[in-house]
Amino acid sequence: MNLSFRDWFFDRLIWVLMSGEWVIKIKDFKYSKNKRERKLFGLTVPNPDNDGGMIYLDKQRGKPRILIHELGHVVLGDMIDMEARDRNKTTKRIDRWTEDQVMIFERLFYSCLSAKQVSVLKIFIDRAKINLRSNL
């Protein structure tokens, strides 16, 4: 079996979701109490007690591209943060620089995914939406 890097890396991203350490939740950011969240399409919140956390996707705007972006934060976050510190950026500039690097990853990686891989991401989002409805 000869996997391309894209396929191998996509499998690693899906493993992050399948392992159960990171859970996708749907949130209506548009009506968030926190004004800064109202413009968000997604948000990654690590759990300080373990290696996992929550990936929040917006109810309307949470699409496969946004899920790839948030998975980029999960998988590449520490490496990008270390590089930012090596470049002697201030805390505020580290956050912006990190976000810019993840956006570059999102744009490049998402554009090379196959239709089947995008549909796999949609399945994870649809399951999260079903869980949202069942919890109401």
State how many domains the chain has.
1
CA distance 29 to 80: 26
CA distance 55 to 27: 10
pLDDT, tens digit (0-9, with 9 covering 90-100), for 35-91: 888 889 999 998 877 778 999 999 989 999 999 999 999 999 878 877 777 776 666
pLDDT, tens digit (0-9, with 9 covering 90-100), for 76-116: 987 887 777 777 666 667 778 888 899 999 999 999 999 99
Select from 80, 64, 76 the least CA-distant residue to 24.
64
CB 63 within 8 A of CB 104: no
Confidence label for 124 from pLDDT (cuts 50, 70 and 90): very high
CA distance 65 to 54: 17
- Tell me the residue range of the domain where 88 lies: 5-135
Sole residue written with tokens 């570059």: 104
